[in-house]
Amino acid sequence: MKNTIKLNDAVAYSAKFLRNTGTQIGPLARARGTVTDVTEYGGGITLATVAWNTSDAPEQVNTGNLTPVKRVAIDSALHT
């Protein structure tokens, strides 16, 4: 899957990630942040450094586990 997360994007955890990890309810589901750095590694791994609105979320996240905030409701509806 092509990385669509870019520097300065407003992001949240994707509905698919939250469901797969059983965290649809709680601090990760409500976490919102801004991407402050994007680093591509070999093997198709891209990590985003995110300034979150909560201390419960890790600073670095695989971009495949993120979605732009503007897509949160759309992604949630598609994965129910």
- Whether 26 is in a domain gets the answer yes
Categorize the per-residue pLDDT at 64 as very low, low, confident or very high, splitting at 50, 70 and 90: very high
**CA separation for the pair 45, 40 (Å, rounded):** 6
- Whether 27 is in a domain gets the answer yes
Range of the domain at 35: 10-78
Domain count, the chain: 1
pLDDT digits (tens, 9 = 90+) for 20-57: 999 988 899 999 999 999 999 988 899 999 999 999 99
- Whether 4 is in a domain gets the answer no
- Whether 1 is in a domain gets the answer no
**CA separation for the pair 57, 18 (Å, rounded):** 12
- Whether 24 is in a domain gets the answer yes
- Whether 5 is in a domain gets the answer no
> Which range (9-18, 45-54, 65-74) has the least confidence?
65-74
Enter the DSSP assignment of 15: H
